[in-house]
Amino acid sequence: MVIMLKKIIATFGLAALFTVTLMNPSLAQEAVENSLFWDYLMQDAASPSAERIHEFHNMLVYIITGITLFVLLLLIIVVLRFNKRANPTPSKTSHNVLLEVLWTALPVVILIIIAIPSFKLLYYVDRTENPEMTLKVTGYQWYWGYEYPEHGDINFMSYMVQDEDIDTEKGQLRLLSTDNPVVLPVNKNIQIDITAADVLHSWAVPALGVKKDAVPGRLNSTWFRITEPGTYYGQCSELCGKDHAYMPIEIKAVSQEEFEEWVLAQGGTLPEPSPAADNHSESTDSIENGDVPESNIEQTPEEADTESEGDE
Ligand SMILES: [Cu+2]
């Protein structure tokens, strides 16, 4: 009786929650605009890692569906052909070598088929050969700290925007927006170094295909390359204490030019081109520093390339 009552109360509670959400236009509106409401698929991939993770996931869905249908078919056959009425005198067979070899070997083959792309993907998302910049992330109870080691002294803390301070006109989202979003350039291989200062946290941004534990005393790293400008959200994904749910991650992905403007506005510096750098970055950099006379700025084909890359 008590259990039933609890069930009824829970059902009504859910229904009430649903109604409140529907009847609060701003909540519903916000949810629809950000495709969060009743959204059950993965967020759109915004990095090559996320794209590959989704492809791998889709492949697994095909395999799992095939296995499930096959087992269902076997069950149906057993139920129809070997029930008491259809098969009154059961066979006494207890061994079948061929069958036993098959049902051992086939799953192994299937696992190998899954393991090969799985390991490929693991190594792909693990690190990038040639990172173009580094972001250092530190998890605290209960906020994130960010540092840009190659861009001067930029470092800041990023706290969640409290409910009462949410500014919907700025597109801020409850539980996801932060006071200091991370700003990163698109189309750059960005190495992410992740650690924590107190307890375990985990830095996760689904659209970028990143989830990495932040461990005190240990530096984990991963990477991504953001393919689309925009705002990406993530959350701490390792239970870290009472405000675990209130330390979101907000990334603003912008063009290289906007990123450089932001760096300078933060009092940071732009990295010197390394000696190994090709003419590309050298010419770009010296122009930014005003070293090159006006007449030289317009034309080099490399320049045109760089610009069109930036616009994509
Ligand atoms: Cu945490």
Per-residue pLDDT at 36 exceeds 90: no
In sequence order, the β-bridge partners of residue 212 are 203
Task: Please give the structure tokens belonging to residue 212.
Answer: 């990495």
Strand order in the sheet with 230-236: 182-185, 249-254, 230-236, 201-205, 210-214
- Options 2.60.40.10, 1.20.120.420, 2.60.40.3880, 2.60.40.420; which CATH number does 133-265 get? 2.60.40.420
> Distance between CA atoms of 189 and 132, rounded to whole angstroms?
5
Ligand 1 midpoint to CA 140 (Å): 7
Q: Answer whether 0.85 is exceeded by the pTM.
A: no
- Alpha-carbon distances, residue 22 vs 12, 17, 173, 269 (angstroms): 15, 9, 17, 48
Ligand 1 midpoint to CA 30 (Å): 25
Q: Which helix (H) or strand (E) holds 235?
A: strand 230-236
38: pLDDT confidence band, cut at 50, 70 and 90? confident
Ligand 1 midpoint to CA 29 (Å): 29
pLDDT attached to residue 250: 96
Ligand 1 midpoint to CA 142 (Å): 6
In this predicted model, what pLDDT tens digit does every residue of 111-167 receive, in sequence order?
999 999 999 999 999 988 889 999 999 999 999 999 999 999 899 999 999 999 988
Protein residues placing their CB within 5 Å of the ion ligand 1? 201, 236, 240, 244
Comparing 33-37, 206-210, 272-276, which segment has the lowest mean pLDDT?
33-37
Give me the CATH topology for the region 48-86+98-126.
Helix Hairpins (1.10.287)
Ligand 1 midpoint to CA 308 (Å): 39
